[in-house]
Structure 1
């Protein structure tokens, strides 16, 4: 059994996962979708491999999610991507590590708590006029705030809801001008890309904010840059999404999605076959 985990808040698979399950079943491979919180011993015993592609609420209980990943491996289940890689990817502090390795990222600072004094000190040190605040462990734009340094008061950060720290980045106007591009990789190879354009008057390129998604053809340099980022990871990936902005200086990484990215397989049918062929091969090796 190949199990794609969803989550208790959104237990049903979306169109993309439905297409993947249908393609796997056409190959004679059983597939199902189960909320990760409901993956009991019986489900684990029946699963050869687990992919948490729709675990869209893990940031609400990251410790429990990480424990579940580790327990799955301990019970002999294959997990994609590698649990240690996903746990590293759960906290956006990974952007700081990638920047130290030479990856061009949106400039990023980290604060441990929502202390206004600490936030003010960082803003003063960086000299940014307008910033975006993101929970270090967060999903789908939840808790993300945009803040002008010239405002009379500091933003109120919901400390109890997001207790893994915060990252601070300068606001990048390109997000409203040309949108964010997402390059999707399957089994380590570039597959396809989309442009995600925020709605008029909006700056968050997330589905809950009515983002417009369209197929996009990146140039060779952008594909190479994104591929090189993945090559710096400690393990290979079955799937990955490299998000970034196209600036005058080239591709700038905004986020690296290695856990539950939308891969837009429902608008790229040939990618479904490629993904499923890789899964078929992976299962055969177990």
Structure 2
């Protein structure tokens, strides 16, 4: 049983924040436990909405897999604000858990996937009768409530309208993006950054294959299994990622980690799909030394708090 009480001073304790469905964390997240122990830090999984937890009893709380917060975002943001030593910081979580942050990044000059927003009660005009589009809520994770629609197909047009109506009826904002076909060949690149003595630094990158295959019908089988491999980031991808991180409110130096997801745009140049600062998979098992680098990043944050 996890001890939620005040740690013995001299031996830092870190809460690896998860959800009730993953009380022992994902396999990838557990990779950091042994490297932390080797550095004199005890790390334990803790469920974010467990009312018995004394968060002040931890030297640092690191968000890892609290993936059930989406229907309760306001509650989650309020919880984050009440945790005294949270990484990433609560203000970043409030900003990053609604994907309308993409507008701010675009305004700051970051190349992003063109995105339109449909608010609850707003009448939605189809962007045309041709082309493929992705619809999903502005507060989401993974591919939940996400669909891919070919507007040349009358059935897909009807399903797209219904998707927007369904999200709006639930009080959710819909984001509408063109489907970037390069993901079917080049895949999506995720660039991982971890804190170090000099601030946030690039750690490693992975490639994710295309997953989304059709409309959101609320049933299984619409997504391909996630295919992940190691990838070498290009200079152009790194430049876009660094420009993205520089535009984060409050600056990137206070972040413990960041994941920048990129897809080639129409001209082949990388464009931002998402900036993951809340609870991203870090794919530690896909790069030599990545668990140790995360342990060092956590140690850097612990040291800065002493």
Q: Please, what TM-score do these two structures have when normalized by structure 2?
A: 0.83
Pairing 1:34–2:38 present: no
Find the residue that maps to 2:289 and give its secondary structure: helix
Number of equivalences:
273
RMSD (CA atoms):
2.3
Find the residue that maps to 1:123 and give its secondary structure: coil
Check the 8 A contact 1:114/1:165 in 2, yes or no: no
Over residues 160-189 of structure 1, what are the superposed CA-to-partner deviations in whole Å (9 max), with x where a residue is unaligned?
Answer: 785330100111111112211100011111
Find the residue that maps to 2:64 and give its secondary structure: coil
Alignment of 1:6-155 (within 5 A): 6-38=18-50, 40-42=52-54, 44-72=55-83, 77-113=84-120, 118-119=123-124, 121=125, 123-124=127-128, 129-152=131-154, 153-155=158-160
Q: 1:41 to 1:195 in 2, by over 3 A?
A: closer
Determine the structure 1 residue equivalent to 2:219: none
Instruction: Return 5+ residue gaps in structure 2 as ranges.
Output: 1-12, 217-222
Instruction: Return 5+ residue gaps in structure 1 as ranges.
Output: none
Higher relative helix content: 1
Over residues 6-45 of structure 1, what are the superposed CA-to-partner deviations in whole Å (9 max), with x where a residue is unaligned?
Answer: 1022222122221111111111111100111115353x13
Q: 1:41 to 1:218 in 2, by over 3 A?
A: closer
The whole-number CA distance in structure 2 between the counterparts of 1:224 and 1:104 is 11
Alignment of 1:194-273 (within 5 A): 194-198=206-210, 209-234=224-249, 235-236=251-252, 237-247=255-265, 248-273=267-292
The whole-number CA distance in structure 2 between the counterparts of 1:200 and 1:86 is 26
Check the 8 A contact 1:175/1:203 in 2, yes or no: no
Q: 1:211 to 1:19 in 2, by over 3 A?
A: same
Q: Please, what TM-score do these two structures have when normalized by structure 1?
A: 0.88
